């Protein structure tokens, strides 16, 4: 899996989990302390995110971060 494929899979997983929990993108961005546009870029696989931001998002959504290793 290359970097672009990883970013897309990561974004899809975050988006699916967020929607399954009925959390808006704006609310998730607020809880993760990032800009909503940045959250959009993460979910669409168009950016690399730091491990700390990923850690925060996984904590909020209760996603096992090991899923991405």
Render pLDDT for 5-50 as a digit per residue (tens, 0 to 9). Answer: 999 999 999 999 999 999 999 999 999 999 999 999 999 999 999 9
Question: What does the CA dihedral 45, 47, 48, 50 come to, rounded to 10 degrees?
Answer: -110
| Distance, CA of 26 to CA of 4 (rounded, Å) | 24
| Distance, CA of 58 to CA of 21 (rounded, Å) | 13
In a domain, residue 69? The reply is: no
pTM of the full structure: 0.91
Amino acid 46: pLDDT: 97
pLDDT band at residue 69 using 50, 70 and 90 as cut-offs? low
**What's the domain range around 42?**
3-64
Amino acid 65: pLDDT: 82
As for how many domains the chain has, the answer is 1
In a domain, residue 37? The reply is: yes
CATH number for the domain spanning 23: value is: 1.10.260.40
């Amino acid at each position: 899996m290359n970097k672009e494929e990883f970013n897309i899979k990561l974004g899809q997983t975050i988006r699916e989990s967020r929607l399954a929990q009925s959390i808006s993108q704006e609310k998730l961005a607020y809880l993760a302390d990032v800009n909503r546009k940045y959250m959009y870029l993460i979910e669409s696989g168009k950016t690399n995110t730091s491990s700390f931001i990923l850690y925060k998002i996984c904590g909020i959504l209760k996603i096992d971060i090991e899923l991405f290793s």
